[in-house]
Amino acid sequence: MKLLVCGGAGFIGSNFVRLRLRDHGDEVVVLDKLTYAGRRENLEGLDVEFVHGAIEDPEAVARAVDGVDAIVNFAAETHVDRSIAEPDAFVRTHALGTYVLLEAARERGLRFLQVSTDEVYGSIAEGSFTEESPLQPSSPYSASKAGADLLVSGYHHTYDMETLICRGSNNYGPYQYPEKLIPLMILNALHGDPLPVYGNGMQIRNWLYVEDFGRGIGHVLAHGVPGEVYNVGGPDEEPNIEVVKRIIALTGADESLLEYVTDRPGHDFRYSLGSEKVRALGWEAQMRFADGLERTVAWYRDNPGWWGPIRSGDYRAYYERQYGRALG
């Protein structure tokens, strides 16, 4: 199969590309505009065709899409904190970009898979979201992602397109940009920098190893029913503060580095996805959180050549704006 993977130089996208090349022998075209979190280094050593461009640019999409069998769209602005400060990029990428891709797929009769997030459902106090749960996004990030999902569903119902939506829970693993909780805490712990935890740290997340999500997406792409949504959730839930304490133990850092900071506006308390529908396609998560986190810490410890240029560049200014202190 020849796939167009949009956002394939980002965290989840590049792990998906690596998985498809290794386990399926697919031919892959990557379309990515290489924002701060999309990096060519994430594709180093991989045999892919790379097209530099944005999904909201019809000309770039036209260059990338010819001859492919399906489009898988990972392209997104993903950090909630940035969406609160600068929502325009999120709306442009998620709404306009998804529209441009859908039009390209419709014109060519291609299968289209939209990669989405559990955050479109909002927060849940107990139990787990199903695919029938109402969309109740609570940030510009999740609202723009929900809008993109609705557009995908609308194209299926209006044009009878072969569209699919995969909503994943909180992903973690190699190549994740260190604005997100796990890589931020790992790198700060390794450098002896403070570990800033929002609020009381009791926000609960459903942790999903990135390769497990990639395999789930692959199952849906191959076996999913057009027009349907599939939740892909992790096997374990854990509060953020416990995740940080695990990272302290795995890195040998001092617990005195913990620092509770003002909570994010509109911070969802708990996410949880029910994955029965995708399990019926033959998927199961293979990585438990304790094992996956240990593997992830080891990857960051062993790959300073990947994160060193990030931590010494523009990221430092972002970090100081976000947390009110400089990195050491």
Name the residues annotated as catalytic: 118-119, 141
Sheet containing 2-6: give its strands across.
49-52, 27-32, 2-6, 70-73, 111-117, 163-168, 229-232
In a 13 Å sphere around the CA of 104, the CA atoms on its Cβ side amount to: 29
